[in-house]
Amino acid sequence: MTLGAIILLPFFGGLVALFANLIWPRTDRWVALASLVLGMAALIFVTAQGVLTGSSAAGIEGEAGRWLALHRSDWAPALGVQILLAMDGLSGVLLFLSLGLGILTVILSWNETEKSALLMAALCWTVATSNGVFLAFDLLVFAFFWELMMVPAFLMIAIWGHGTREATAIKFLIFNTIAGLGLLAAVFYLGSTSEGPVTFDAFVIAARDIDPTVQVWVLAGFALAFMVKLPVPPFHAWLPDAHTQAPTVGSILLAGLLLKTGAYGLFRFPAMLFPDGFAVLAPYGLILGAFGTIYGALVACGQTDAKRLVAYTSVAHMSVVLMGICGGVHFSMMGAGIVMVAHAFSASALFLLIGAIYDRVGTRDIRQLGGLQRNAPRFAATFALFFSATLAMPGTANFLGEALVITGMFQVNWVYASITLISLVISVVYATRLFQRVVFGASRKAEVKQDLTWRELGPILVLGTGTLFFGLLPQGLMVALDPAVNAAVGAIQAVTK
């Protein structure tokens, strides 16, 4: 069982789902679900094999013990392109997240009637292309998946979205396409300047002695693409509109998966390929991250659309991730990795809950909502859990991640640590404002009278379990992330000492 199955099963599952209804009605969702479940089974098999039998990545010089699995095969040798897939703990955690959210979104879309086959295909393709991003170490193949990932997301917003969905989808595409050009230019430069045969192998490129000035410019191309997808101000303008107009499953995959590809790219490649460039640009990343945490929290306080409010909280939380990565110390980078996972759980759940409210009453305006505690206690209880996570309350994975980032920031500069703490104080304002109005507030024009159904409650229980489990028993997650954190920190410290 190779790593390629983790990408190919969702991809071909989506392709079959697209035409499955021509053979038998309503089979598209079963095909999509089966392909994602098989992809999860393949991931479990590969992970277990790597853990139990030792690394199969002996082809990576000096790092074989870090990697759980490796797949290398020629694709276009004359062009220096190969299929190079590798998985360590960081990739593995994000792959489980990708396939898990894919399965949950298929379940949530089970009763969709409008172009359901295309929706199921888009869900599978989003997972497949994201998996490619998390696994690819041939930089041209990585860029291929990075660009391809935008297509199913564009379709979900443009076809199943709300309001100005077409304009929002185009805005999403323009932002990410333009930013992706910087990534492509950087990748082509790295491949064309090799002294020997042309190669896009990230491990070979990492071993080169690249001029520090060149590293800065090439890293800027990578970082632009990653920060737009993350996103942090001033590259975030596409995100609030995309979340507001996207369908519920689109918002879940945007928050839980696509934003994490930007965080993953920043975590993985700058320290690995451009340590000298990282040392130069990291202080600017810290400034952007510090600004983003305050900006996102303050703007969230003024929102009346619940979905838009959560979108701006994502800007704040992912800015914390940027600060953790750019801090370059073990505590901050470990915290950034945990915040990535924790935010995927909490933000996905909040978008699910807000989408469920919208389906029942036709509005997300918090000024018109109220009485949730009295009429829908399951709604109220789950809102309480996930807004506690947004507030980084102790016992949630969000608390652990942000606490580690703040600890790391104190090692870097106490000013950044203080700014992160201030953003947490501001988060109390927007979270309690929304929670008080929607859950405890008096009934207004739109009153939710139907509680969560079991089809909605199932995914909520899964996401809630993840939030609490990794908050109370984080050791397994930290052990999985530790090799990637140590490698990144080691590369950074080697050039900053």
Please report the DSSP string for 345-382 in residue order: HHHHHHHHHHHHHHHHHS--BTTTB--HHHH-HHHHHH
pLDDT band at residue 445, thresholds of 50, 70 and 90? low
* Shared domain check, 261 and 134: no
Residue 187 within a domain: no
* Shared domain check, 138 and 216: no
* Shared domain check, 145 and 17: yes
* Shared domain check, 221 and 139: no
Residue 185 within a domain: no
Among 220, 222, 250, CA closest to 101: 250
Check if the beta carbon of residue 259 is closer than 8 Å to that of residue 229.
yes
Omega before residue 234 within 30° of 0, cis:
yes
In this prediction, residues 280-294 reach a mean pLDDT of 96
* Shared domain check, 373 and 461: yes
Q: Which of 126, 142, 159 is the last residue of a domain?
A: 159
Question: Distance (Å, rounded) from C-alpha 490 to C-alpha 484?
Answer: 10
Higher pLDDT, 374 or 384: 384
Other CB atoms within a 10 A radius of the CB of residue 447 amount to: 17
Check if the beta carbon of residue 289 is closer than 8 Å to that of residue 381.
no
* Shared domain check, 245 and 100: no
Phi, psi for residue 73 in degrees, rounded to 5 = -150, 155
Question: Distance (Å, rounded) from C-alpha 365 to C-alpha 119?
Answer: 27
* Shared domain check, 244 and 320: yes
Report whether pLDDT(165) > 60: yes
Report whether pLDDT(56) > 60: no
pLDDT digits (tens, 9 = 90+) for 200-227: 999 999 988 889 999 999 999 999 999 9
Residue 179 within a domain: no
In this prediction, residues 140-163 reach a mean pLDDT of 94
Q: Exposed, middle or buried: residue 410 (CB in 10 Å: 0-12, 13-18, 19+)?
A: middle
User: pLDDT at position 439, please?
Assistant: 80
Number of structural domains in the chain? 2
Residue 95 within a domain: yes
Please list, in sequence order, all residues whose beta carbon lies within 8 angstroms of the beta carbon of residue 360, skipping any fewer than 6 positions away.
448, 449, 450
Residue 174 within a domain: no
pLDDT band at residue 50, thresholds of 50, 70 and 90? confident
Report whether pLDDT(234) > 60: yes
Residue 317 within a domain: yes
Report whether pLDDT(124) > 60: yes
* Shared domain check, 228 and 131: no
Show the tokens assigned to 13. Answer: 């599952």
User: pLDDT at position 194, please?
Assistant: 66
Other CB atoms within a 10 A radius of the CB of residue 178 amount to: 12
User: pLDDT at position 112, please?
Assistant: 80
Residue 457 within a domain: yes
SS3 342: helix
Q: Which of 124, 159, 194 is the last residue of a domain?
A: 159
User: pLDDT at position 22, please?
Assistant: 86
**What is the residue-wise DSSP string for 112-164?**
--TTHHHHHHHHHHHHHHHHHHHHB-BHHHHHHHHHHTHHHHHHHHHHH--SS
Cα dihedral 206/216/333/54 (nearest 10): -10
Residue 198 within a domain: no
Check if the beta carbon of residue 127 is closer than 8 Å to that of residue 140.
no
Cα dihedral 183/278/175/261 (nearest 10): 80
pLDDT band at residue 156, thresholds of 50, 70 and 90? very high
pLDDT digits (tens, 9 = 90+) for 446-462: 677 788 888 889 999 99
Identify the domain containing residue 431 by its residue range.
210-497
Check if the beta carbon of residue 117 is closer than 8 Å to that of residue 18.
yes
* Shared domain check, 146 and 245: no
Mean pLDDT of the chain, nearest integer: 90
* Shared domain check, 220 and 99: no
Higher pLDDT, 333 or 443: 333
Other CB atoms within a 10 A radius of the CB of residue 280 amount to: 16
- CA 482 from chain centre, in angstroms, equals 19
Q: Which of 144, 159, 174 is the last residue of a domain?
A: 159
* Shared domain check, 3 and 87: yes
Report whether pLDDT(92) > 80: yes
Check if the beta carbon of residue 225 is closer than 8 Å to that of residue 146.
yes
* Shared domain check, 155 and 215: no
